[in-house]
Amino acid sequence: MVGVAVLGLAVISMFALLSSGFAMVHFNRDNLRATQIMLNRVEGLRLYNWGQLTSGEVPATFTETYYAADATNVNKGTIYSGRVIIVPAQLTPASTYSSNMMRRVTVQLDWTSGNLPHRRQVSTFVSEYGLQNYLIAN
């Protein structure tokens, strides 16, 4: 009787461990996808010239969807909602660049995984004369 109880406890613990492991894999997959989306948006800034960045031509919001492999199409995947925020840079200590020659670009991404909301963000600085304008000329 004691052996059956110990075996039952071991089996229940093993199922809990497997469930926790699969949840962790799901979270890490969603987190990695969020990082890829943010990197894609930041790298996409290279395609804009300074006039487009400062005039508001960069889309302020976006939505991306990631569909996990699911043959039955029951799992609708994860929906990522993002924002691109472009504001004048405020550097400390002050630089030789004026604030109208630099912008701080922040990409924020929100999604829900396992009924828990998540948010990630990445920021970078862009300067007027530091942009690579080899694809789109001013």
Among 27, 22, 20, 29, residue whose Cα is nearest residue 118: 27
Contact present, 66 and 112 (Cβ < 8 Å): no
Average pLDDT over residues 48-62: 88
Q: How confident is the model at residue 132 (pLDDT cuts 50, 70, 90)?
A: low
* Residue 35 DSSP symbol: H
> pLDDT tens digits, residue range 11-22?
898 988 888 888
Q: How confident is the model at residue 76 (pLDDT cuts 50, 70, 90)?
A: low
Beta-bridged to residue 106, according to DSSP, are 85, 123
- Other C-beta atoms closer than 10 Å to the C-beta of 30 total 20
Q: How confident is the model at residue 74 (pLDDT cuts 50, 70, 90)?
A: low
Average pLDDT score over the chain: 83
Q: How confident is the model at residue 120 (pLDDT cuts 50, 70, 90)?
A: very high
For residue 118, give Cα distances in angstroms to 7, 30, 63, 111, 133.
38, 10, 15, 5, 35
Residue 4, phi then psi, degrees to nearest 5 = -65, -40
Q: Which residue has the higher pLDDT, 13 or 93?
A: 13
Q: What is the pLDDT of residue 137?
A: 52
